[in-house]
Structure 1
Amino acid sequence: MTQAPAAPVLAPQQPGRQRRGVTVRGVVQGVGFRPFVVALAGELGLAGHVSNTGEGVVAEVEGDATAVADFCRRVSSDAPPLSVVESVTHEEIDLDGGTGFHIAPSRGTGVARTLVPPDTATCADCLTELTDPHDRRYRHPFITCTHCGPRFTLVTGLPYDRANTTMARFPMCARCAAEYADPTDRRFHAQPVSCHDCGPRLSLRVNDARTPALAIGDPTDPGATALRDVDPLARARRLLRIGAIVAVKGVGGYHLACDATNDASVRLLRRRKARGDKPFAVMARTLTDVRRLTRLSQPERELLTGNTRPIVLLRRHGSGGRRQTAARIADSVAPGSPDLGVMLPYTPLHKLLLGLPEDPCGPTLLVMTSGNHGGQPIVTDDQDALDTLAPLVDAWLTHDRPIHVPCDDSVVRVHEGEPVPLRRSRGYAPATLTLPLPVTPALAVGGDLKNAFCLGEGRRAWLSAHIGDMDDLSTQTAADTAERHLTGITGVRPELLVADQHPGYRSTRRARARVRDGVPVRQVQHHHAHVASVLAEHGLDGGHEVIGVAFDGTGYGTDGAVWGGEFLLADYAGFRRFAHLAYAPLPGGDTAVRHPYRMALAHLYAAGLPWSDDLPCVHATQPQELQLLERQLERGLNTVPTSSMGRLFDAAAALLGVCHTVGYEAQAAMELEACAHGSTTPSAGTTAGRPGYRFDLRQTGPNAPLTADPAPLLAAMVVDLRAEVPREWIAARFHRTVAELVRTVCAAARDRHRLDTVALTGGVFANALLSAHCAELLRADGHTVLRNRLVPPGDGGLALGQLMVAARSEEAPEPAPAPGATPLPRTDVHPGTDEPGTD
């Protein structure tokens, strides 16, 4: 909290009595702040009023000077749990002489500067009422109060009042209105308040073209014809129990739900959605159900049961060499994955859908995946859901409260006891990020993968909810809608646009198209932005360079090549390329991304290693394709050089026979990590006389960056394969060797440039095993290790770094593609799949 100096007295004051105007800024609307102010003023015996404005919460308090001073202090220190008080300013004003304290009408004038809170999971008090047969909101699917429920997804404007939400169409009944007006009630000025009499209504619609009784199960089942005789939730539970796929409308969009223990139902959903082998997320009824499926640490438990309730990636029982002891779940939920994405119910509708104790037995584990076709944004509009989801579902469980802005589920993984967001969306957006340096009003548009944009002004930044991949026109439209919404509730009017340097990115092209509107565009190198995102969230002002280790799949380099295995000496103002993974050919661009065996062959070719028939990647390739690839690599046709660490992980996965063709982003690397977790021998050194795993570090000139050639590593892996060393051991040694490379290069950077802070970032560092190995080795050498904790290490956090770089550096000319280079790959995602990440 900060306090401004008291303004000069404007009028004679009574001895010992004072009136002050108080402005509280931050996340102070939609969190019960005005009711809190009323209660605090009453406790202190103060008169006055409080209201919402575009600036935040504004109050005038009058009374004993000591009590007024206490109010100005406690309005921050005792604030409601969901609020975030960024500043409290106050000034002395004329006495009014009134009595009593009340909530005044909101004032919407001026530029909005308040912060809307994220959607919040149902609180314990509301859950108690939901399950109490004697409470008037028993089984009300939209129960909420000042401490919980939707906020961001229903706000249409500021100040935050019911009229500026999607609840405006639902007039309160007399009893709800009485609670809303009662300062002692938990629902005092809770804008989404409702009950069975006045709130939104559920409905269930069966897909006439695909009735569950015909598509799944026994058509003679009498229950299939008696569904119309029960309420929508009971009907939906029964449909799920007999194997149907149901579209369920949540707070930020539709989910596709089915019984996660019914393998036929899960496979049907996978086939209808053309999802390949990408894992589904599961919603479990209770924490006990989660424990039966997965190992669970205390930080993971807190994430599952807290206010945000993201999808949490958890290690399944039976993985890593342990005996299988898990509860039954369909094999097709997450085939081949040692991890399972799990969440607990976060809305009352979810709680009721999974059933209360008195309900007939139904599924306790539901697949809950984004309601969309592959590559498109999550569906929010009801008519759109009926039209576009019809080929996917047997029924729709919906309601008549509109969703104003899409908001997908967040995905989080715990690394060494700390949460790392892999997709930052519901429960987190649009929470503000405090910047270490002030920035001009700007919009950073992010990249084309896992797109999220970032608005910034002064020392505040707002990262949007996850948008998706920019290939699809509907995703671009969703990005435009989300931008209008976020600029509307933040009041930021961008004077600068910031984009990636990749000339083929749609996000960059869309930004540059706006130059004609008079808004300049600055382009930022991809990996520089990744490093800057870590610096920003750790509060570094950029006064000193750090060693930035940026490992990912694709990023446009200043030389026109595909970068992705980078060691940068960087601050916000610029970077120097200290070292990088040696270039290897990327044959066919995106084709090589989708077929890791091509990357394995390209890396073997670059290393001078023969394509022997006994190698899994060679065996997986058709003879005709082998011949074509050999000619392509010899002549350099349709290839571009890449230093991508993500592609090296792909190559290693294919070399070991772990994964040859991918159906979703990072599949090969994820399966390689899973393979490595099964090993008890992670050493990178020599074993039984075989060559050790290592990179060859060299420098071509006095000012040239170091290059890390993986040829010795690949040669050693081939030797171990032929010696029939378990591939789990080889995968583990590969991970450890990459970590040893990080250690060696960072030591060299420290010796030459006296730098001892290392920032680990980029999508490859979503790999918990690699991240842990690197951090362990670097800390042992005395380095300070920084990693992304507030924004994703992948491209979902890119826009934050873009914003900071653009704010502190001079505009650089757009780099030209290397002579004769083919177009760079734009994505790491197989066309037709979902957005990256477990959902």
Structure 2
Amino acid sequence: MEKRFRITIRGAVQGVGFRPFVYRLATQFGLNGWVVNDPAGVTIEVEGAEQLLDEMLETLQNDKPAHSYYQYFNVESLEVAGYSTFKIRESSDQGSKKALMQPELATCSDCLEEIFDPGDRRYLYPFTNCTHCGPRYSIITGLPYDRSQTTMKNFIMCQRCQKEYEDPVDRRFHAQPNACPDCGPHVELWSKQGKVLATHHKVIETAAEEIKRGKIVALKGLGGFQLLTDATSEGVVSRLRQRKNREEKPFALMVSSLIKAREICSISEQEKELLTSAEAPIVILNRKKWASEFIADSVAPENPTLGIMLPYTPLHHILMRLVNGPVVATSGNLSDEPICINENEAIERMGGIADLYLVHNRPIERHVDDSVVRIIAGKPTLLRRARGYAPFPIKVDASDQDQSQEIPTCLAVGGHLKNTVAVNRDTNLFMSQHIGDLDTYEAIKAYHRVIEDLPALYDLHPEWILHDDHPEYYSTKDALKRTLPTIGVQHHYAHVLSCMAEHNLEGPVLGVAWDGTGFGTDETIWGGEFLLADMGSWKRVAAFRPFLLPGGDQAIKEPRRSAIGVLYEIFGEQLFQQTDLLPIQAFEKPEREILQRMLDQKINTHITTSAGRVFDAVASILNIKQKISFEGQAAMALEYLISQTESADVYPYEIGRDGDLDIIDWELLFREILQDLNRLKAFEISAKFHNTLSKMIVDVAKQVGREKVVLSGGCFQNVYLAEKTVDGLRKEGFQPYWHQKIPPNDGGISAGQLFYALKNINSYKKEQALDEVPG
């Protein structure tokens, strides 16, 4: 019996070879009809014998292309239309833009084989790609995903490329960025002044030689510029640090192969899968003891880990084979600025950094940094969500929503540090790529570009804006200037919500939000918080004992100030007579006098409960770090000490009560640390301190009594703390949740804000409507 089905599929079905897959499937089963891309996804009409249709449906659902993903699959039965062939129809631009945009995909093995085959027409061609790999998000200008809506639109395919594009059995069938040396983009080598020094393959050979000679090369990659230089030379890496204004923050490395990565780092099976995945992120790995024989110490000073990535574009593969050694591969920018995406912009902004520019003429539509991942408690955790992951959505549950009401589109503008923004279509939560700290003109420009770009891609028109409660965050100020209604979401509640979002938790949960800085409802600086939270509300049930930070924001860069604040809370004015204490010695006598006046009179001081500042205080007392050059440096240094011991010892502490709030009093902990300075090694004190923090969380969880415990905030990038806490909670019968898809740091704030909106926005709309009713 003949039948006709209309199959509607929504999800990640564009840019992954899905239409060619459907074409081959239909012809294999002898079925007729058509398949088309539209802004919502893919629509298929297919007719033929019922049994063959059923077999095709089963294959569609169970054997789809590797990078495809279904969110909606519907089959409708129609009258037979009498199709005589099966065709791929020209894409339609009509309808709602619901198709999911694919992130960038690393070079596949088939393309790699061609690139290094001297007999292949794409031999050493740096823009080789197919439906299984290549640029996506960085070149798309609109949906549906067709060549005419990418930055490849001005490269007209030659006859041979066009034939591949039109051949259903070719893996480049409808590969939108398809190109070859005859018709595609090409590379050029530019001087610091923008003068063309070489073109085509000679460019890559010359760049490789210059890297080996110690030059710094700015390479225009997939989503922006990278700065590449020899990672084995101390002098070269130090010069890059000086020029880039990046004192000590670790640089990422690129190596040519997994074998090369194993020479310098220990790699688990999970880490191997991440390194070689289509996402190809930077993976934080434990370095081997002899790594310093291969890698300059200044790549990651005093750091037992290295951030490693493998080549993920043909250009990287060709270059790395020629260099044949590890290179620093860091963002093409000055520190704290977004990466450059345009070669002329790069010359202007990086003129004092790069010696040469390896550029190409394929335009980059939007900046996309390299993503950073670390295995924490057996799961990959995204520390920076960008290339390979953004803007792929997080699908959240809306079962509690009134199904008769559409969920309005909302824009969440995130926090101030590690900024990302997020927008929704229905219950799909789209996070932008990493933008960065909103402290510079370039970062703010990038923020505004992304705020316009992300909704526009999906033809979305936000009705509400979600922002942080901190009145001085740039993102908050910008949100409040706009004409749309706004909703503030407390910083630490947003942290907890971001983790709830990726695990689809409704609550109530005990949310542990530990970070460096967040604006509290009492207008003090929070950061060591325990929140009893659900989707609509939260209650602060516990926090660290507060203390004063002398110098306010300056204390964030000087752990010695956090230590002075903690010790002043314990000893009062007598602190400044204890000149044997290392944090006191870290200041000159006139500075101590100023600090004492500040604390005694509470001038230019902030009250804080920040866990991040408690880490800083311990680092200062141990003389590990008195000043830092990047966020979290002191806490990282403390974590890295622990590898030298397996101690399970803990410090004493008390949990007191202030009204309905439990106060974790750390005074006994710090008093004993001061005693331990004369009897224990620094690494033993650090382990004991971390163990105590973990025990605090477990003890509060016991008092609160909620089974589900959510861990969020930048402190849970600390592998030892996170794993110790997860293990401790499980042993006591709790169900811990930690981040995987969304960063635990402030890069996840926008997701938490938006998750709150998806669950509560219709209630706000009702309140708004009531407010607008006259008298």
Q: In the alignment, is the contact (CA less than 8 A) between 2:396 and 2:504 conserved in 1?
A: yes
Could you list the runs of 5+ residues in structure 1 that have no partner in the other structure?
Answer: 1-15, 212-225, 319-323, 685-692, 813-839
Matched, 1:107 2:95: no
1:367 maps to which of 324, 328, 331: 328
Amino acid at match of 2:255: A
1:657 maps to which of 610, 623, 627: 623
Matched, 1:240 2:214: no
1:577 maps to which of 526, 535, 540: 540
Q: In the alignment, is the contact (CA less than 8 A) between 2:511 and 2:709 conserved in 1?
A: yes
Matched, 1:668 2:634: yes
Q: Distance in 2 between matches of 1:327 and 1:50?
A: 56
TM-score norm. by structure 2 comes to 0.95
Cα distance change on mapping 1:807 and 1:88 into 2, 3 Å: closer
Residue 819 of structure 1 is matched in structure 2 by none
Amino acid at match of 1:471: D
Q: Superposition pairs for residues 247-396 of structure 1, below 5 Å?
A: 247-318=218-289, 324=290, 327-355=293-321, 359=322, 362-396=323-357
Where 1:436 maps in the other structure, the secondary structure is: coil
Q: Distance in 2 between matches of 1:328 and 1:369?
A: 18
1:538 maps to which of 496, 503, 525: 503
Matched, 1:459 2:414: no
Matched, 1:560 2:515: no
Q: Distance in 2 between matches of 1:21 and 1:208?
A: 58
Where 2:512 maps in the other structure, the secondary structure is: strand
Q: Distance in 2 between matches of 1:597 and 1:671?
A: 14
Matched, 1:116 2:116: no
Residue 478 of structure 1 is matched in structure 2 by 446
Q: In the alignment, is the contact (CA less than 8 A) between 1:470 and 1:506 conserved in 2?
A: yes
Where 1:440 maps in the other structure, the secondary structure is: coil
Where 1:607 maps in the other structure, the secondary structure is: helix
Q: Distance in 1 between matches of 2:559 and 2:691?
A: 21
Q: CA deviation at 1:374?
A: 1.9
Q: CA deviation at 1:458?
A: 2.1
Q: Distance in 2 between matches of 1:205 and 1:230?
A: 14
CA deviation vs aligned residue, 1:132-155 (integer Å, no higher than 9, x gap): 111111101011000011111111
Residue 709 of structure 1 is matched in structure 2 by 665
Residue 760 of structure 1 is matched in structure 2 by 711
Q: Distance in 1 between matches of 2:764 and 2:635?
A: 35
Q: Distance in 2 between matches of 1:366 and 1:289?
A: 12
Residue 591 of structure 1 is matched in structure 2 by 554
Q: Distance in 2 between matches of 1:462 and 1:737?
A: 37
Matched, 1:413 2:374: yes
Q: In the alignment, is the contact (CA less than 8 A) between 2:420 and 2:747 conserved in 1?
A: yes
Where 1:508 maps in the other structure, the secondary structure is: helix
Q: Distance in 2 between matches of 1:679 and 1:655?
A: 20
Matched, 1:748 2:716: no
CA deviation vs aligned residue, 1:136-189 (integer Å, no higher than 9, x gap): 111010110000111111111111111100110110011110010000001000
Q: In the alignment, is the contact (CA less than 8 A) between 1:114 and 1:489 conserved in 2?
A: no
Q: In the alignment, is the contact (CA less than 8 A) between 1:259 and 1:363 conserved in 2?
A: no
Q: In the alignment, is the contact (CA less than 8 A) between 1:548 and 1:760 conserved in 2?
A: yes
Q: In the alignment, is the contact (CA less than 8 A) between 2:102 and 2:137 conserved in 1?
A: yes
Q: CA deviation at 1:72?
A: 3.2
Percent identical residues:
41
Q: In the alignment, is the contact (CA less than 8 A) between 1:675 and 1:731 conserved in 2?
A: yes
Q: Distance in 2 between matches of 1:678 and 1:89?
A: 56
Amino acid at match of 1:146: T
CA deviation vs aligned residue, 1:76-115 (integer Å, no higher than 9, x gap): 3221101111111232334321211111111101221101
Residue 827 of structure 1 is matched in structure 2 by none
Matched, 1:777 2:717: no
1:720 maps to which of 673, 676, 684: 676
CA deviation vs aligned residue, 1:740-778 (integer Å, no higher than 9, x gap): 11111111111xxxx211111111000000011111111
Q: In the alignment, is the contact (CA less than 8 A) between 1:21 and 1:90 conserved in 2?
A: yes
Residue 223 of structure 1 is matched in structure 2 by none
Q: Distance in 2 between matches of 1:23 and 1:481?
A: 33
Q: Distance in 2 between matches of 1:23 and 1:43?
A: 20
Q: Distance in 1 between matches of 2:170 and 2:420?
A: 38
Count of residue correspondences = 753
Amino acid at match of 1:627: E
Residue 24 of structure 2 is matched in structure 1 by 39
CA deviation vs aligned residue, 1:656-675 (integer Å, no higher than 9, x gap): 00011111110111111112
Cα distance change on mapping 1:30 and 1:130 into 2, 3 Å: same
Q: Distance in 2 between matches of 1:391 and 1:210?
A: 16
Q: CA deviation at 1:229?
A: 11
Q: Distance in 2 between matches of 1:700 and 1:670?
A: 32
CA deviation vs aligned residue, 1:276-303 (integer Å, no higher than 9, x gap): 1111000011112111111111111111
Q: CA deviation at 1:811?
A: 6.1
Q: Distance in 2 between matches of 1:680 and 1:93?
A: 67
Residue 772 of structure 2 is matched in structure 1 by none
Residue 220 of structure 1 is matched in structure 2 by none
Q: Distance in 2 between matches of 1:505 and 1:379?
A: 24
Residue 817 of structure 1 is matched in structure 2 by none
Amino acid at match of 1:157: G
Q: CA deviation at 1:724?
A: 4.0
Q: Distance in 1 between matches of 2:647 and 2:51?
A: 67
Q: In the alignment, is the contact (CA less than 8 A) between 2:281 and 2:370 conserved in 1?
A: yes
Q: In the alignment, is the contact (CA less than 8 A) between 2:377 and 2:726 conserved in 1?
A: no
2:571 maps to which of 604, 608, 626: 608
Matched, 1:793 2:761: no
Could you list the runs of 5+ residues in structure 2 that have no partner in the other structure?
Answer: 402-406, 766-775
Q: Distance in 2 between matches of 1:129 and 1:349?
A: 13
Between 609-618 and 236-245, the greater mean CA deviation after superposition:
609-618
More helix per residue:
2
TM-score norm. by structure 1 comes to 0.88
Amino acid at match of 1:746: A
Where 1:231 maps in the other structure, the secondary structure is: helix
Amino acid at match of 1:592: A
Q: In the alignment, is the contact (CA less than 8 A) between 2:103 and 2:387 conserved in 1?
A: yes
Q: Distance in 1 between matches of 2:764 and 2:350?
A: 45
